Structure 1
Amino acid sequence: MEKPPRRPAKDQTLDYLHILGKLSLKSWRTCKDIHRSLVDDGVNISRKKIYRALKVMREDPEIGVEVSDGSIPYGYRLGKNSPFARQEFSAQELLLLSLSQAYLHFQLPAKCLESLELFFDQAERQMKSDSKFKSVSSWRRKVAVVPNQLPFVPPRITNRILKEVTDALYLDKVLSLTYEAAESTGKSSAGEISVLPLGLVQQDVRIYLVCQYEGSGEFRHLALHRIETARMTERSFTPPEGFV
């Protein structure tokens, strides 16, 4: 029986680079997380290949991949001394990354935030380790966004809800959710509903999802902190005029 042909070395190298690009210095990523992110980027690689590559990389101290194997599924991240975690930013780039992390959390899709996490981590480490960037790290304390009224404590929005909502909004996918109506409306929880996500609006500390109910065309503004569950479906839709 003939053995299957070996893959070209350059293809394996590209696989490794794609996988390393999805690892963070702080957060643990599972094979499933990495695979889903790569598929979203259009990279065709199986979960089995990702697992094998991670196994090789974690056993090579020069690559510097750490593994959390206390429970299944395993988590992976870059070690602080990994050569793939070393990237020097200019003062201007550090300032841009710092402000983006502080003020664009709710304005960027979760997919974009995930891909930027490695840069955020590296920027933070660089500012802490090098005194010449002290002025950059202190800049965020010198600028502020001040509301017209007394500030309120922002309502809690889980990362899971935010990710599903922003992913569906980014990809024009129908969103299935359960929503708890405000007590002042006299309405109880609406149960599971399907909506077409059209936009996010921030009003002071509250974030609202502009959407249409699937099938009715009725426009609604749903407070994200009142969404109890959210799940992006595989059904695509075409946004109405003015939302494209």
Structure 2
Amino acid sequence: MPKRPDTLETTLLAVELLRRIPRHRKISAVELHEQLKHAGIERELRTIQRQLEKLSEQFDIERDDRSKPFGYRWKERASGLSLPVLSEQESLMLMLAEQHLRHLLPSSLMQSMDGFFQQARANLSPHGGNATGNVTGRGNRREREWLNKVRVVSTTQPLLPPKIRPGVFETVSNALYANRWLALDYKNAAGKRKTASVMPLGLAQQGVRLYLVCRYEGYDNERILALHRILSAEASVHTFERPRDFDLQRYDADGHFGFGDGKRIRLMFRIAKEAGLHLLESPLSSDQQVREVGDGFEISATVVETAQLEWWLRGFGEAVGEVRREALSM
């Protein structure tokens, strides 16, 4: 009879493997071995292979053994690793998150969350419930009603997310997590195609698009690549030391995602009252100053100079005028 600690360790390993098996691509034992290693879970490759064989027999996991290394993924309509202890409030938050993300993320990314969303929907259905009894049909009525009382609305013209090629997001995000070099085949907005080895430093979502911040091999400046323009991505076995001088939050604050270079200016302009009223409620900056002038406002604020700022100002048309910019010392 196996010892209890060994049984517990085997169970925990099975759970970790089930969590990491994807739905929309196949993953090998070697890849899972690497993921577990980076998560601080040291196991022999052969142990993982044996565990995967057992799991594919006991769960709805597809095992592709036509060639080595074998590939594993959840079957199309498999429930996956369910969350039986979701409370009504947790289920509600997941459903609201799904509504918010549906038009913000590519469908392939939303599909990877299907197991969680399905469990939340089941919990909030009229006949919802689970083995622990945390959710019942009577107890979740208010939560179900709440879904029809709130909605996330877009502040701009809604757009559908661009399509990201299969496997690209998974490869990029895994390489980013593990600090591994990436070999990319990329086509820019002008249609020019290029292959490059890059150091992935961060992922950012801007509207419905996802962007990779990276450094090209041999360079020390950052580039921004749209994930939907990556034709293929392959993670290297070689790792890199993450640059100490890079901070994604500071990179964003410097306006790089708005096509700026961190240059701060004192922006001054006049705006019609009807068009500028919202700036009294949602200021441009913490040091914004407003002066009422006739039928308009005179606004002054410290901002980062970006192309996005220019587009924003032009969007007001004739409602904005007398625009001035003063450079600030760094």
Aligned partners of 2:144 and 2:176: how far apart in 1? 33
Aligned Cα root-mean-square deviation (Å): 4.0
Aligned partners of 1:181 and 1:81: how far apart in 2? 38
Partner of 1:3: none
How is 1:201-220 mapped onto 2 (pairs within 5 angstroms)? 201-220=204-223
Which of the residues 10, 15, 23 maps onto 1:20? 15
Partner of 1:176: 183
Q: How many residues align?
A: 223
Larger Rg over CA atoms: 2
Do 1:176 and 1:195's aligned partners in 2 also have CA atoms closer than 8 Å? yes
SS in 2 for 1:23: helix
Partner of 1:160: 167
- What's the CA shift for 1:189? 0.6
Do 2:99 and 2:152's aligned partners in 1 also have CA atoms closer than 8 Å? no
SS in 1 for 2:245: coil
| Identity level (%) | 27
TM-score computed with the length of structure 2 as normaliser: 0.53
- What's the CA shift for 1:161? 0.8
Q: Partner letter of residue 15 of structure 1?
A: T
- What's the CA shift for 1:95? 2.5
Partner of 2:40: 42
Which of the residues 81, 88, 95 maps onto 2:85? 88
How is 1:41-60 mapped onto 2 (pairs within 5 angstroms)? 41-56=39-54
Partner of 1:65: 59
Q: Please list every run of 5 or more consecutive structure 2 residues that lacks an aligned counterpart in the other structure.
A: 106-110, 129-136, 249-330
Stretches of 4+ aligned residues off by more than 6 angstroms: 78-82, 104-107
Q: Please list every run of 5 or more consecutive structure 1 residues that lacks an aligned counterpart in the other structure.
A: 1-5, 108-112
SS in 2 for 1:22: helix
Partner of 1:110: none
Task: Deviation per CA, 1:148-187: give whole Å up to 9, x if none.
Answer: 2x2222210135111122222233332221110222xxx6
Structure 2 CA distance for partners of 1:41 and 1:117, relative to 1, 3 Å: farther
Aligned partners of 2:172 and 2:11: how far apart in 1? 30
Structure 2 CA distance for partners of 1:235 and 1:188, relative to 1, 3 Å: same
Do 1:38 and 1:44's aligned partners in 2 also have CA atoms closer than 8 Å? yes
SS in 2 for 1:156: coil
TM-score computed with the length of structure 1 as normaliser: 0.69
